[in-house]
Amino acid sequence: MRKENCPMSKEDIVFDLKKGLEAEYRAMALCEKLMPLIYHELDKKDIAGIIADEKEHIEITNKLIEIVNKYYTLQK
């Protein structure tokens, strides 16, 4: 397998990851605001599952940012 060089700079990758992180936080906040307005228990369970997923996405994205900041080097 050939190792391809990434054409993006570390700053660009981190910028994109942070933009994604902002979207994850917005999605989680929206679900949390929606939760008190929902009365059907199955719907509440679904929304709670989405909130849990968003929390996991936030953890993963933060870890990716940490990894890129620590290990990424642009090879030419």
pLDDT tens for 25-54 read: 999 999 999 999 999 999 999 999 999 999
Domain-embedded: residue 26: yes
Residue-level pLDDT at 42:
97
pTM of the predicted model as reported, rounded to 2 decimal places: 0.81
Domain-embedded: residue 31: yes
Domain count, the chain: 1
Question: 54 burial class (0-12, 13-18, 19+ CB within 10 angstroms)?
Answer: buried
> Are 56 and 27 in contact, with CB atoms under 8 Å apart?
no
Domain-embedded: residue 53: yes
Averaged pLDDT, 11-34: 96
Domain-embedded: residue 4: no
Q: Which residue has the higher pLDDT, 40 or 76?
A: 40
The range of the structural domain enclosing residue 41 comes to: 10-71
Residue-level pLDDT at 26:
98
Which residue, among 38, 59, 60, 58, has the nearest Cα to 47 in the 3D structure? 38
Structure tokens at 21: 């992180």
Domain-embedded: residue 17: yes
- Helix/strand/coil for 12: helix
Domain-embedded: residue 3: no
**Mean pLDDT, all residues of the chain:** 90
Domain-embedded: residue 1: no
Domain-embedded: residue 76: no
